[in-house]
């Protein structure tokens, strides 16, 4: 009986021993795949949510905060406002201007002063491309651009 069992399964140490295949042959592989499918997207979402990608390049625009409404505007005696109405007519401090004149007029008004602020008020019906063009033109000057949003207009009107 002992001799028969050795012949059936091979001699010990010869490497010819047959093994029964397990019921779950690749449970470790399945577990690793599940972890990979859960952890990898989690890491990617976390990195993009917290801004570790550094892939976006846009227009830097300062938004007006509620706590800054009552404070003086740097070393400039006044702040300037650029307004674009629904008919895409441009105004600098309520004076009608052409878009191409904006950068030179702002430089002229600013002179040698530093830390000046220009508020941009664009009507909601105006296309984004017009607002982006205005921001580009204002960034040609040393002034800081502050985009007025409907929310900041409500706060300022109080």
| DSSP output for 46-83 | HHHHTT----------EEPPGGGSSS--TT-SS-EEEE
Number of domains in the chain: 2
pLDDT digits (tens, 9 = 90+) for 75-86: 576 778 899 998
**74 and 151 together in one domain:** yes
Helix (H, G, I), strand (E, B) or coil at 91: strand
Round to whole Å and give the CA distance between 116 and 121: 17
pTM surpassing 0.85? no
Average pLDDT over residues 150-155: 66
Q: Residue 19 sits in which domain range?
A: 2-49
Tokens of residue 17, six digits: 């021993």
Q: What is the pLDDT of residue 49?
A: 76
pLDDT digits (tens, 9 = 90+) for 10-48: 555 555 555 665 655 677 788 888 888 888 888 888 877
**57 domain residue, yes or no:** no
pLDDT tens, 44-70? 888 777 766 655 555 666 666 555 555
**Residue 114 belongs to some domain of the structure:** yes
Q: For residue 93, give the 3-state DSSP assignment.
A: coil
Same domain for 77 and 152, yes or no, is yes
> In this structure, is residue 104 part of a structural domain?
yes
């Amino acid at each position: 009986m002992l001799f028969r069992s050795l012949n059936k399964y091979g001699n010990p140490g010869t490497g010819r021993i047959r093994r029964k295949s397990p019921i779950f042959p690749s449970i470790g592989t399945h577990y690793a795949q599940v972890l990979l499918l859960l952890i990898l997207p989690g890491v990617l979402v976390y990195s993009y949510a917290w801004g570790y990608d550094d892939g976006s390049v846009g227009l830097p625009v300062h938004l007006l905060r509620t706590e800054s409404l009552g404070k003086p505007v740097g070393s400039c005696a006044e702040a300037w406002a650029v307004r674009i109405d629904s008919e895409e007519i441009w105004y600098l401090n309520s004076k009608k201007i052409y878009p191409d004149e904006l950068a030179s007029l702002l430089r002229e008004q600013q002179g040698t002063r530093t830390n000046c602020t220009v508020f941009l008020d664009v009507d909601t019906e105006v296309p984004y491309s017009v607002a982006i063009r205005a921001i580009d033109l204002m960034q040609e000057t040393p002034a800081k651009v502050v985009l007025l949003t409907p929310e900041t207009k409500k706060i300022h009107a109080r």
